[in-house]
Amino acid sequence: MIRVVVDREASGNIVGFEVSGHAGYSEYGKDIVCAAVSAIVQTAVIGLTEILGIKIEYRQKAGKATCVIPAGLSGDQNEKINIILETMLCGLKSIEEGYGDYIRVEERRLN
């Protein structure tokens, strides 16, 4: 199962996320759940880095991807970042609605 954990700061802004595990919906290379999750997450990362020019802390290795948004950004930057990450979250929750046996999306509030 894929597990997605999205971290929010007290203001409600998304400040990071972690995606781990394997869907197990189908065999490697034919798993539509894995492909959909990967496409949504990679598109969000591209939006942050290439479109907004934000230097995020992003690590990806077999079965796990983590992203941390840097502190100290302007309000305008944070607003744009949040739009991209909220869109990513909506897409992942949509996958969870249809394929809940293969993906879990959780939100965690940080202090």
- As given in the structure block, the two tokens for residue 24 are 């197990």
Look at residue 80 in the predicted model and tell me its pLDDT. 98
- Cα–Cα distances (Å) from 17 to 31, 50, 65, in that order, read 22, 18, 8
User: Active-site positions?
Assistant: 22, 34
> Residue 59 contacts by C-beta under 8 Å, 6 or more apart in sequence?
65, 66
Please state, in angstroms and rounded to a whole number, the distance separating the CA atoms of residues 1 and 34. 10
- Residues 63-72 have pLDDT tens digits of 899 999 999 9
Look at residue 62 in the predicted model and tell me its pLDDT. 85
**Mean pLDDT by 10-residue block, N- to C-terminus, for the chain (111 residues)?**
97 97 93 97 98 97 94 95 99 98 97 75
3-state secondary structure of 46: helix
Domains in the chain: ranges and CATH: 2-102 (3.30.70.1490)
**CA quadruple 55, 52, 49, 3: dihedral sign:** positive
Give the number of residues written for the chain: 111
| Nearest residue to 42 (alpha-carbon basis) of 67, 21, 23, 25 | 67
Angle at 80 between CA 107 and CA 56, to 5 degrees: 70
Look at residue 63 in the predicted model and tell me its pLDDT. 87
The pLDDT mean for the chain works out to 96
